[in-house]
């Protein structure tokens, strides 16, 4: 370590400002952050300060009842919106363009057994594994499909098994971490089966396919149905058939989501992220969709987010590209 670098380490805390420095040191310790150079740390600290200011201002509005969701400082607080989008592979909408060669149907058959309540949480029924973490591998399309398959297996056999995303990352494509089409995962599993996560754990990167080294679980015939672009249809689907694949627009503003019903007036219909819809309800007068993310249990509400429902048609793209399986 040269003399200049040592000097900068000594001087840097005073340049930061005492209060901000305290937040910064606590943040680095809590989230195990370290940086290669003092210049990089200064840059990250400046980003952190901007994010902290924005989060605090938002939460003052939340306390005043001017917004329906709360933010928090989390592991993303040293990233700009562009860095977050790039590092965590939030893809443009063409990732999820509908492929009409897939075996899909347009709508659910209606009947008396399709009547829905105003609250549903498939976690309470035992059909949902805890939130997982895709990390910097852009495999949200795989995580969303696996979440739906776990729900399907539970509904058929009354047993919840955590299936292996790494199995699919390694075996379905040579570009698995660069995005893909969720129903493709369903077709692969129908043909080849899938292993348990405990046997084939996630590694956050693509490797050699090792599925033949483990016992694969075979699922019965999987029929994929596309939900028509209406909230009532989406609600019926998740009620009757369990967790549903949804492709949404993951705004950079929800990087710091903590709790409550996420709603911003402006939200793109162009989806860039696949997730798992596991229920719906109403909180403090705001209707919501309950959605499982793949950013770890330390993001949001134990890895889940409540997205506004009954606000606008196809809000944040949630009804535009959605699938369930039977």
**Catalytic residue numbers, as ranges:** 140, 273, 293
Give the list of residues 6+ apart from residue 223 with CB closer than 8 angstroms, or none. 103, 105, 325, 326
Distance CA 326, CA 224 (A): 7
Distance CA 320, CA 98 (A): 10
**Ranges assigned E (strand) in the chain:** 69-71, 120-121, 224-226, 244-248, 257-262, 273-283, 286-292, 304-308, 322-325
Distance CA 163, CA 215 (A): 12
CA 180 distance to own-chain centroid: 15
Q: Which residues, in sequence order, are bridge partners of residue 290?
A: 279, 306
User: Taking a C-beta distance cutoff of 8 angstroms, is the pair 247, 182 a contact?
Assistant: yes
Long-range contact list for 4-8, CB < 8 A, 24+ apart? 5/38, 8/38
Distance CA 83, CA 60 (A): 26
Distance CA 233, CA 319 (A): 9
CA 217 distance to own-chain centroid: 25
DSSP single-letter state for residue 227:
P
Place of tokens 């627009």: 249
User: Taking a C-beta distance cutoff of 8 angstroms, is the pair 206, 139 a contact?
Assistant: no
Tokens of 210: 């090792």
Give the list of residues 6+ apart from residue 286 with CB closer than 8 angstroms, or none. 68, 260, 261, 263, 308
């Amino acid at each position: 370590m040269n003399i200049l670098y040592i000097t900068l380490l000594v001087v840097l805390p005073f340049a930061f400002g005492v209060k901000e420095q305290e937040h910064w040191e606590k943040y680095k310790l809590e989230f195990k952050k370290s940086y290669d150079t003092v210049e990089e740390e200064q840059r990250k600290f400046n980003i952190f300060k901007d994010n902290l200011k924005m989060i605090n201002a938002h939460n003052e509005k939340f306390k005043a009842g001017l917004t329906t969701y709360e933010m928090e400082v989390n592991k993303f607080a040293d990233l700009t919106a562009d860095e977050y989008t790039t590092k965590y592979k939030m893809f443009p909408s063409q990732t999820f363009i509908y492929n009409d060669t897939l075996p899909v149907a347009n709508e659910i058959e209606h009947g008396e057994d399709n009547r829905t309540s105003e609250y549903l949480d498939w976690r309470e029924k035992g059909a949902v594994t805890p939130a997982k973490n895709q990390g910097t591998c852009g495999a949200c399309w795989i995580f969303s499909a696996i979440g739906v398959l776990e729900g399907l297996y539970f509904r058929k056999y009354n047993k919840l098994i955590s299936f292996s995303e790494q199995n699919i990352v390694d075996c379905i494509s040579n570009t698995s971490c660069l995005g893909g089409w969720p129903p493709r995962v369903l077709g692969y599993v129908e043909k080849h089966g899938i292993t348990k996560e405990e046997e084939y754990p996630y590694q956050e990167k693509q490797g050699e396919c090792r599925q033949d080294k483990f016992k694969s679980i075979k699922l019965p015939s999987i029929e994929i149905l596309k939900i028509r672009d209406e909230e009532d249809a989406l609600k019926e689907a998740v009620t009757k058939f369990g967790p549903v694949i949804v492709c949404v627009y993951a705004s950079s503003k929800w990087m710091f989501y903590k709790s409550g019903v996420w709603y911003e007036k402006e939200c793109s219909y162009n989806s860039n992220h696949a997730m798992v819809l596991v229920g719906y309800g109403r909180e403090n007068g705001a209707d919501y969709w309950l959605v499982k993310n793949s950013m770890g249990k330390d993001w949001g509400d134990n890895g889940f987010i409540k997205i506004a429902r009954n606000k606008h048609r196809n809000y944040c793209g949630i009804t535009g590209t959605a699938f369930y399986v039977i």
